[in-house]
Amino acid sequence: EVQLVQSGGGLVQPGGSLRLSCAASGLTFSNYWMHWVRQAPGKGLVWVSRIYNDGSISTYADSVRGRFTISRDNAKNTLYLQMDSLRVDDTAVYYCAKEDLGGNSELGIWGQGTLVTVS
Amino acid sequence: DIQMTQSPSSLSASVGDRVIITCRAGQPIGSYLNWYQQKPGNAPKLLIYAASDLQPGVPSRFSGSGSGTDFTLIIASLRPEDFATYYCQQSSSTPLTFGGGTRVEIK
């Protein structure tokens, strides 16, 4: 069974840092582009970042560019999101997601989500 | 950024009803449109990709159609487990963008 298991959320003060992790199992992790998507309390889904399967290229939403860094360790089957200079409006549940190979950038498998509270 | 507009934002329906949710893109996106279902406290689940392709394991009462700027998700006969929030998402270009969601509630 393909699984993405997240860790690393919590409470942090404005200006602080946090690193999220997303451990993959049941798949050849190095074959897939990976994403982070967030959801503020009671709000909709917002895409945050994407990284190529080999880690060579990463893309960010304007709201996090320069503050967040997506990375991956294919030897450890793990995706990361380093979040620096956190702001109150970064408070959200953060999901990692695997992009399927269908060619439509569909997010076929999601992690369970981890809550980040900036206060 | 490509804006995605869903309607309605919420609806009330009964078990057995046919439900139609629409999604409009701010510019043509071909068939680069995906649909997700999210239940409270859970991660989103992919239902439809490429506008009309059913994700394996998703019941056939769900269907999608459209291309260009206008898309539709149809639930042919609503079941109790379908009460949830539905999101469209364009994947034509980054940043990937989602619609605001449609909450399907029990009438």
Maximum C-alpha span of chain A: 40
Q: Can you give the pLDDT at residue B107? A: 87
Chain B residue numbers with beta carbons less than 8 Å from the beta carbon of A105 are: 32, 34, 91, 96
Nearest-CA distance A110 → chain B (Å): 6
Q: Which residues of B touch A107 (CB under 8 A)?
A: 34, 36, 44, 46, 89
Q: Do B94 and A104 touch (CB under 8 A)?
A: no
CA distance B35 to chain A (A): 9
pLDDT at residue B45 greater than cutoff 90: yes
CB B52: neighbour CB atoms within 10 A?
A: 16
The reply to whether residue B91 touches residue A104, judged by beta carbons under 8 angstroms, is yes
B62 pLDDT band, cuts 50/70/90, is very high
Taking CB atoms and an 8 Å cut-off, how many pairs form between chains A and B?
65
pLDDT at A65: 98
- Judged by a CB distance cut-off of 8 A, whether residue A15 touches chain B is no
Share above pLDDT 70 across residues of chain B, in percent, rounded to a whole number: 100
pLDDT tens digits along A50-90: 999 999 999 999 999 999 999 999 999 999 999 999 999 99
Q: Once rounded to an integer, what is the mean pLDDT over residues B22-32?
A: 98
**Which among A69, A78, A97 is positioned nearest to A29, based on CA atoms?**
A78
Residue A32 touches chain B, beta carbons under 8 Å: no
d(CA A7, CA B4) in angstroms, rounded, equals 30
Q: What is the dihedral of CA A103, A36, A71, A89, to 10 degrees?
A: 150
**pLDDT score of A103:** 78
